[in-house]
A and B are shown apart, each in its own frame.
Chain A
């Protein structure tokens, strides 16, 4: 037993405890992060999921030591973020920022590689990020999607133990997004701990082991992505179906609640697949059927139960 526990006082992985951050703005203080606790084990891939203004970027800034928390602590591999960064164990792709000009893609990646103690081979990273065709192009002559991939390459070339990505696919088209996550999957298999922020539930679902849901500066749910998806992935079936009792509809499998407005019924589902099959079997007369996913924002509102008194000031908190 003794041999299997880490030495006293040394912690592995990432621990965010009681983080609070408030920004002063001309319209009064904005409480961007109000008490965030997240623990991430080595090798885990965690999605920070939340709408704009949830406090994701501010949390990432504190994780990386770019912002000092007003309260709470950040521990990376048992030390401070500054120590982890100084020893080259962290690679990050930030949300803001364009590339350094007057260098080719290859030169920029090589420059970043030169800053780290154990970098990956530059050519390997170029290939991994699908930049073979653009390697000799100047950074100022890239398309938005290419620039984003170069930013990813800059984070990757550091060969980090912890890779942090703040909304990495935000400027990418659908195709670019797929290619990006395929690259990430290849990289994650090396055992790197990955933390990424996103406001796409699909990305968290497809890529992360675990999702931490943030809204209004707090963690509102934290668990395996499947669980989170079930919680926020609720769908609604709408149909025209006169003359059927709400009790009968509400009792269908996969339906959580039923409502009627004239001839139209609306079924809020926990399992829309099961519900639609049961609905059509039981009531073949149902017409004008529509199935819609609840937006993430909507799901968050539900999870967080609507309103704190000072929500409005958070809308632009971490944007």
Chain B
């Protein structure tokens, strides 16, 4: 009995789902090329101190990875719809192993998305020292924790009919507010909302390239609080979900 075996089969399934792959990885890449390529020579995008290719590389990475994490919810909702969750509940698979497999796939998809966008960024002229590439990636991976939990939560609370619109609409609003499509002003109404959202701090991983330390304390706190709250809610939703769909 190896609980890692379950993760292995889940990976196999994910890799075989070609449309899932294409959409999860293709859209952020396509949007990056559309937004960044025309402004390739812009070196200070709206006063951020960052070049357009760099800014959009990080913002598209944040959007793509956030979507990949939440996409887990759609996969879970699908399994619940066909009753597969009940089949797993009557096996010795622990909730930990189950959720680990789901989150591992989300992170794998997120990782691939980041690699693709970085590659496209380099092609469009982004140049950074190695430690800044790493620091930025580290912040993105940490900033995704709340989204991993949110994916699990939504997958247990919504069904296959509702989760599509919920994720599509939700990520669109989050992206808009959080500076994915254009930088958020340094003050004002939008800014005040944005700074309390984990998606804002995902985009703000680009601060590493400004030579700073990345996130200020506020960023770490916002990500931590969202992580804890959503993880607790996700665990509760998982435990409550044994009924026949």
Contacts and interface: CB of A to CB of B under 8 A. Distances in A.
Interface of A: 57, 61, 64-67, 85-88, 90, 92, 94, 96-103, 107, 110-112, 114-117, 154, 158
A57 B92 CA distance: 21
B6 interface: yes
Contact of B16 (A99, A102, A111, A154): A102
Contacts of A103: 9, 12-13, 16
B92 A88 contact: yes
Nearest to A117: B1
B93 interface: yes
Interface string B83-124: 110110111111000000000000000000000000000000
A98 B82 contact: yes
B87 A94 contact: yes
Nearest to A112: B91
Given A65-B242, A110-B9, 20 more contacts: A65-B89, A66-B90, A85-B91, A86-B92, A88-B91, A90-B90, A94-B90, A97-B82, A97-B84, A101-B17, A102-B12, A102-B13, A102-B14, A103-B13, A103-B16, A107-B9, A111-B5, A115-B6, A115-B91, A154-B87
B187 interface: no
Contacts of B9: 103, 107, 110-111, 114
Given A101-B13, A103-B9, A103-B13, A114 B90 contact: no
Given A97-B83, A102-B13, A116 B245 contact: no
Interface in B160-184: none
Contacts of A116: 1, 91-92
Contacts of A64: 90
B196 interface: no
A85 B16 CA distance: 30
A158 B79 CA distance: 21
Given A97-B84, A102-B13, A92 B90 contact: yes
Candidate in A88, A96, A158 with the most chain B CB atoms within 10 angstroms: A96
Contact of A87 (B3, B14, B92, B242): B92
A114 B13 contact: no
A275 B91 CA distance: 51
B86 to A, nearest CB: 6
Contacts of B16: 102-103
Contacts of A117: 1, 92
Contacts of B92: 85-88, 115-117
A64 B89 CA distance: 9
Contacts of B12: 102-103, 107
B85 to A, nearest CB: 9
Given A67-B242, A85-B92, A107-B12, A94 B83 contact: yes
Contacts, number: 84
Contacts of B89: 65-66, 85
A114 B5 contact: yes
Contacts of A92: 87, 90
Give the most central of B12, B83, B91, B92: most A CB within 10 Å.
B91
Contact of B6 (A57, A98, A107, A114): A114
A2 to B, nearest CB: 34
In the A-B complex, the 8 residue pairs with the smallest Cβ-Cβ separation, listed nearest first, are A97-B83, A114-B5, A102-B13, A111-B9, A102-B16, A96-B83, A98-B82, A115-B91
A81 B16 CA distance: 35
Contact of B83 (A87, A98, A102): A98
A88 B17 CA distance: 30
A61 B242 CA distance: 9
Nearest to A64: B90
12 contacts: A66-B86, A94-B90, A96-B244, A98-B83, A101-B17, A103-B13, A103-B16, A107-B12, A115-B5, A115-B91, A116-B92, A158-B91
Residue with the greatest number of chain A CB neighbours at <10 A, chosen from B1, B6, B90? B90
A116 B17 CA distance: 26
Contacts of B245: 96
A20 B12 CA distance: 42
Nearest to B3: A115
Contacts of B82: 97-99
B90 A115 contact: no
A96 B81 CA distance: 10
B132 to A, nearest CB: 38
B243 interface: yes
Contacts of A57: 244
Contacts of B83: 94, 96-98
Most chain A beta-carbon neighbours within 10 Å: one of B9, B16, B17, B245: B9
B84 A100 contact: yes
Contacts of B1: 88, 114-117
Interface in B53-102: 79, 82-84, 86-87, 89-94
A295 to B, nearest CB: 27
Contacts of A98: 82-84
A88 B92 CA distance: 6
Nearest to B91: A115
Contacts of A101: 13, 17
